[in-house]
Amino acid sequence: MSTPDVVIVGGGIGGLSTAFALSRSGLKVRVLEQAKEFGEVGAGIQLAPNCTRMLDDYGLLEEAKARGVVPDRMVMRDAVDGSDLTSLDLRDLERKYGFPYLVIHRSDLHGLFLDACREAGVELLTEQRVTAYSQEGDKATATTDAGTVHEGAVVIAADGLHSVARKLVVDDQPVSSAYVAYRGTVPIAEVGRPVDLSEVVVYVGPRCHFVHYGLRGGDLLNQVAVFESPKALAGLEDWGTPDEFDTAFAGTCDAVQQGLPHMWRDKWWRMYDRDPITTWVDGRIALLGDAAHPPLQYMAQGAIMAIEDGWVLAEHVKRLRGDGGAVDWAGALAAYEAVRPEHCRRVLLTARAWGELWHLDGVEREQRNVLLRARKVDDCSFTDWIYGPTALFPEDEPTMFQPIPLVSADGLASDLADSLPR
């Protein structure tokens, strides 16, 4: 094997999208995947305009749209009574940001990047479990458990939540949210109830929520059910089990109840993230994707952030590549680290807060519902900071939205009551 310019550890969506982005600059890229074959587990994934903008730049957007669904509306409903709380007109969103909101099966998106990498000549190796990283001078290496050493000018660690490379920059552990996700995809012909596939729907309830939307041109319905595990809160190891699942959703509305029989009950995903960190680069070794910033899922930005990471790094590589083709890797990695950690910190912390908002109960649930119902459909103040163009430099990072305190709903409710005819 010839020596590549870049070695990428991890053949998931983040690793493959980064490999493709760097290969477009003419770099030789090698991707190391620990599994026997490249693949992706899970079900549906949502791609907001900040991601589809990049797919368009890569020339992959039309194929992604063909493999997925471009919905018209996103709607949030109360999981207890089934009532509408707020919505986004996704076609208006596309007009505002210039690119669509797309939902697609994870394996379809992964396959899209895998095909693109193959066509671009990326070297794709399987059964390469990396257990150690090192560097010397202008070279970095990733060494497998079999003793194989892969050397390049740079090593990008896209090795996920339990990243080995992360230990180079911080000694931390994943943070359990005590929440569990059950998933399920079902052919639309077998759903047994009317479902509007032009909508992405989330039902938010006390300590639980339920999501559904169409996939593969509307042939499949994707469903996700998430709940807080009492066993996890009690510190037990066996948490997230089907008995907890049934109890968590017992008080939800008919629309949610009708979807639950189609969930996979033999496999579930425990929800972890990690605290944000500001150091992602150690010399010629850099973290990317979940290795750097594993989020909770509430912002639907996990895979998107990984794709953004690769796009930003590739843009700086292009900017800092000399006439002879040599890359100023120190400059490119410094520019990457200067902008991405702050953006991802905002997303990670907002995802935590958003999850808390979804799962409120009692008076706080009622306050949340008042505020959400009062929101104007065309209000994009909560999306501008994340759905707009991805920043390449810190000064380009947009201003964050200003959260609205729950207690402000009390005055709003009084105003609404006073305005009603008596």
Q: Which of 97, 101, 213, 272 is catalytic?
A: 213
Cα–Cα nearest to 360, from 205, 231, 248, 256: 205
- Grouping H, G, I as helix, E, B as strand and the rest as coil, residue 302 is helix
**Within its chain, how far is the Cα of 147 from the centroid?**
33
Report how many helices (DSSP H) and strands (DSSP E) the chain contains, helices first: 13, 18
Q: What is the DSSP string of 339-392?
A: HHHHHHHHHHHHHHHHHHHHT--HHHHHHHHHHHHHS-TT--TTTHHHHSPPPS
Q: Distances from the Cα of 178 to the Cαs of 230, 231, 239, in angstroms? A: 8, 8, 9
> Which of 305, 300, 302, 387 is CA-nearest to residue 343?
305
Pair of tokens at residue 374: 């009062």
Q: What is the pTM of this model?
A: 0.95
- DSSP state for residue 277 in the 8-state scheme: -
Q: What is the residue-wise DSSP string for 387-417?
A: HSPPPSSGGGSPPPP-PPPTTHHHHHHHHHH
Contact 80, 206 (CB under 8 A): yes
422 residues of the chain, pLDDT tens digit each: 678 999 999 999 999 999 999 999 999 999 999 999 998 877 899 999 999 999 999 999 999 999 999 999 999 999 999 999 999 999 999 999 999 999 999 999 999 999 999 999 999 999 999 999 999 999 999 999 999 999 999 999 999 999 999 999 999 999 999 999 999 999 999 998 889 999 999 999 999 999 999 999 999 999 999 999 999 999 999 999 999 999 999 999 999 999 999 999 999 999 999 999 999 999 999 999 999 999 999 999 999 999 999 999 999 999 999 888 899 999 999 999 999 999 999 999 999 999 999 999 999 999 999 999 999 988 998 899 999 999 999 999 999 988 889 999 987 755 544 544 44
Quick check: is 97 catalytic?
no
